[in-house]
Structure 1
Amino acid sequence: MVTDGAAGSDPARGPLEVTGARVGEVLDGADLPQACVPRPFLHPVRTLGGVVLTDRHPDDHPWHSGLAVALPDVDGVNCWGGPTFVPGAGYRWRDDHGTATVASAASDGPRLRSEVDWHDPGGRLLLHEDRTLEWGAAPDGWQLLWTSSFRAPGDRPVELGSPGSHGRAGAGYGGWFLRFARCTDVVVRTPDGAGEDRVHGSVTPWIAWTGSFDGGRAHVLVEALDHRDPWFVRVAEYPAIGSALAWRSPVLVRPDEPLVRSFRVTVSDG
């Protein structure tokens, strides 16, 4: 499990263990290139049987890092990584990449609480995130509960946007995001249907991904616990799912009114 902050340990980095198996690694992301937006994430995430489910620095999108929160537009700052979507011009490389740093972290058994501060390229504080991870055994594998609570750091709202909110249809990605390792024979579904075209942009309580990874077949079920954002899904171009905070319109994080998103992830072999 993640260390408890004893001498020589760092609660912001360390393994997640369930029933004696290492199922994940918490990384602070400080070594990521600036263009990939240094930020904390989980990688590798594994099944109890050891199948690796996540990717880091994939060739197609090197700024994708395991399981994380990533935000394409925080008051005009790229906190996703890679090129920035510019209305009317498409994607352009800019020196506008932010950084998310772990301001504090503390663990208590299978629970990690972190304060994450999001900054612009000049170091100005953009957004606070209070993140809680809890993990343990499940009847058919293991389970992760992820909660992110976003707070505006000052007395004015903070606007979260996406390419979708800037006019690129179907590209409202941004928020909780899981980049899978290379896999084949993928089945992605929700209560309303199956297949990338059917589930991308849908608003349902859960989404499930099954695929054949290097090491075996695995299943991931993601449940949205407190809000219904559209699901962002990629299968043909690259393997990933996420929950889109600003699918078509920007979202405001208001002072003294946290924006909370919670997800329960169940990981199974076979």
Structure 2
Amino acid sequence: MEQTAVDRVLRTLEVGGTTVATLVDGGASPVAWSPRPFLHPVRTLAGTVLTDARPDDHPWHCGVGTAVPDVDGVNCWGGPTYVPGTGYEECDDHGRAVATAVSDGDGTLTQRLRWTGPDGALVLRETRTLTWGASDGGWVLGWTSAFRAPGSSPVRLGSPGSHGRAGAGYGGFTWRFAPCDDVAVRTSTAVGEDAVHGAVAPWVEWTGTFDGRHGSGARASVRFEALGHADPWFVRVAEYPAVGSALAWDAPVVVEPDAPLVRSFRVTVRDEA
């Protein structure tokens, strides 16, 4: 699918005078990729680019962001929709997320997002807060998404996993890595893609040698910590490089009216010697 539009830069994130990430509105994505704001490129302090956006294998994957395959029947992930009993199909059910307000300060930013369906109807609200700053030997990103039902009815968030595709519970906070080799992925008790994928653990760490196609190539590590929740980790290494926190691993999660669903993460980024 040809891409002709251009993403609009909403904010650059700096640590100690070094630009470590760029927040864009996602406006360059066509409707079928469920346009939404995301961070890209994300870098280490030494300049190694750690993210990919719109890669050939899954062009609807975009840097660091939040995406949900099923928001009350609306595809807010992008790409084909998983249909139970049939598999993936091309459907005209794609939504989008638009930041309606942005407020920021020194090392912090809050966005208010409207998630809408293909008809423009509001299906979900999100308040997203980002924080960033120096950390021992690197820098740290804080990410909190608070999802709210837009009206008096609950909103169901689902995934292919919640529709019966085993191990495919992707959706929620997701980091699509830049191409990398010699990947090591682990938790405190598990090592390797097969063991970590689907694991419930306080943190998961990804270490790899980035090939430099998106900037300088070097070895770096990214540690993801889940704060105040215990969703399974979604991990891909062999097929494509990505880590996510699965909101709806094998069952939908419900956003009740007047009761926000909150997911928070701390991500530590380090250059490796």
TM-score category of the 2 structures, normalised to the smaller one: over 0.9
Q: Give the 4+ runs in structure 1 shifted more than 2 A.
A: none
Aligned to 2:270: 268
Structure 1 residues without counterparts, runs of 5 or longer:
1-10
The answer to whether residue 142 in structure 2 is matched with residue 145 in structure 1 is yes
Structure 2 residues without counterparts, runs of 5 or longer:
1-7
Aligned to 2:261: 259
Q: How many residues align?
A: 260
- The 1:58/1:103 distance shift into structure 2, 3 A limit, reads same
Q: Is the 8 A contact 2:9 2:22 kept in 1?
A: no
Alpha-carbon distance, 1:226 to partner: 1.2
1:33-44 equivalent positions in 2, closer than 5 A: 33-44=30-41
Residue of structure 1 aligned with 2:118, choices 116, 121, 124 = 121
Aligned to 1:106: 103
Aligned to 1:229: 231
Measured in 2, the distance between the counterparts of 1:192 and 1:157 equals 36
1:124-203 equivalent positions in 2, closer than 5 A: 124-203=121-200
Counterpart AA for 1:230: P
Q: Is the 8 A contact 1:12 1:102 kept in 2?
A: no
1:186-224 Cα distance to aligned partner (Å, 9 max, x none): 000001111000000000000000000021000000000
| Percent identical | 63
Measured in 1, the distance between the counterparts of 2:54 and 2:108 equals 27
State the TM-score, normalizing by the size of structure 1.
0.95
Measured in 1, the distance between the counterparts of 2:118 and 2:189 equals 41
1:120-174 Cα distance to aligned partner (Å, 9 max, x none): 0010000000000000000110000000000001001000000000000000000
Q: Is the 8 A contact 2:233 2:245 kept in 1?
A: yes
Q: Is the 8 A contact 2:44 2:269 kept in 1?
A: yes
The root-mean-square deviation of aligned C-alpha atoms, in Å, is 0.9
Measured in 2, the distance between the counterparts of 1:113 and 1:254 equals 22
Alpha-carbon distance, 1:42 to partner: 0.2
Aligned to 1:216: 218
Measured in 1, the distance between the counterparts of 2:136 and 2:175 equals 22
Residue of structure 1 aligned with 2:62, choices 58, 65, 70 = 65
1:87-106 equivalent positions in 2, closer than 5 A: 87-106=84-103
Alpha-carbon distance, 1:14 to partner: 2.0
The answer to whether residue 82 in structure 2 is matched with residue 85 in structure 1 is yes
Aligned to 2:244: 242
